[in-house]
Amino acid sequence: MNAIIKEHGYKRNVFASNLAFNKKFVFAVFLPKYDTIEYWHNQIKGIEKAEQEYRNLGVVLDYYFYDFDSTSFKNKASEVLKSNFDGILFAPIFHDESVLFLEECQKKQVPIVMVDANIETSIAHTYVGQDAFKSGVLAGKLISFAVKSERRVLVVKIAREIETTSVYLQRIAGFYSFFEKNKNLEHFKFTELTIKDSGKELLNVNMFAGIHSVFVPNSRAYMVAQFLEANHIVGIRIIGYDLLELNKEYLKKGIIDFLIHQKPEIQGYTAIGFLYKQLVLQEPVPQTQYMPLEIIVKENLE
């Protein structure tokens, strides 16, 4: 009989339904501590915007932040699992630990949304984030705008040891694939440079001799920009990722030329919106939601 009613174009009244249900939905938000990491700070900003928007609509957020190490992750994870929540948003920074965490969440039968990076698994979940490979291809294209004479490109990998996600490797893979697929770009030559994080002092002028462009496959383009500015090296095109304050500053100065923006705020905002849709509105959401790849130059910043 219910079936018959539904067939006949019946629409649940969301207001009445949620009024009667009279329940707050608790979304657990399980992310790295954001105090010092601007990228995560922006994710949180989007989440907080969504929190405010859905506050009157029966949504409560419970935050759990961990330090950027796997022990802290595991400790907080068990804390999360002890609590009660109707939906979970988290970032699988540490792969193996995240798989275990996912399995526990599955037992709770709640909707799961992952941001920033995805995990290959059969456990149903939604991914909201970047397509890292494609963003690398795009970086290649942007570098390729230079003239058609010989071009030397420096790929600068500045990474901390605990970098366990493969995001920046995927970006580099995409980057090279662009030049492989475009055979008329054989005049581009590449050199790689690997530097430990906060090892800015390891840069030296010789590294940039004869270089026309620099590709920084993570958010640390500002370090290269700082160095080039301090040493009065001009005419080198820099392309990097993420709208950190320092990156934006050098973009405005014209020292960084391109930033690829992954919209962390929108990631967080969208993720909460997806939980809201599933739980409050009882509507389906996509399995994967890639952020559009935005090209930011000085003139379309903001």
Partner DNA sequence: GTGAAAGCGCTAACAG
Partner DNA sequence: CTGTTAGCGCTTTCAC
- The beta-strand segments (E) located in 81-160 are 87-90, 112-115, 126-129, 151-159
What is the size of the binding site for DNA (CB under 7 A)? 11
24 contacts DNA (rule: CB under 7 A) = no
Nearest distance in Å: CB 162, DNA: 43
Nearest distance in Å: CB 165, a copy of itself: 22
Nearest distance in Å: CB 52, a copy of itself: 10
Residue 57 three-state SS? helix
Query: Quick one: three-class SS letters along 246-257?
Result: HHHHHHHHCCCC
Give 116's contacts (C-beta < 8 A, 6+ positions apart).
43, 91, 92, 93, 129, 130, 165, 264, 267
Nearest distance in Å: CB 148, a copy of itself: 9
Nearest distance in Å: CB 221, a copy of itself: 18
20 contacts DNA (rule: CB under 7 A) = yes
Q: Which is nearer to a copy of itself, 205 or 297 (CB)?
A: 297
Closest CA to 51 of 30, 27, 77, 86: 27
57 contacts a copy of itself (rule: CB under 8 A) = yes
Nearest distance in Å: CB 73, a copy of itself: 33
Longest Cα–Cα distance of the chain, Å, equals 79
**Candidate list 7, 9, 22, 201; residue touching DNA; CB under 7 A:** 22
Closest CA to 238 of 131, 226, 230, 166: 226
**Candidate list 95, 141, 189, 200; residue touching a copy of itself; CB under 8 A:** 141
Consecutive H or E run containing 80: helix 70-82
Residue 196 pairs with which residues in a beta bridge? 159
**Candidate list 2, 56, 84, 109; residue touching a copy of itself; CB under 8 A:** 56
Residue span binding a copy of itself (CB under 8 A) among the ranges 23-31, 70-78, 135-143, 202-210: 135-143
How far is it, in rounded angstroms, from Cα 95 to Cα 146? 38
Binding partner of residue 122 among a copy of itself, DNA, none, CB under 5 to 8 Å per kind? none
How far is it, in rounded angstroms, from Cα 138 to Cα 233? 26
Summarize as ranges the residues that interact with a copy of itself (CB under 8 A): 11-16, 18-19, 55-58, 134, 137-138, 140-142, 145-147, 178, 281, 292-295, 297-300
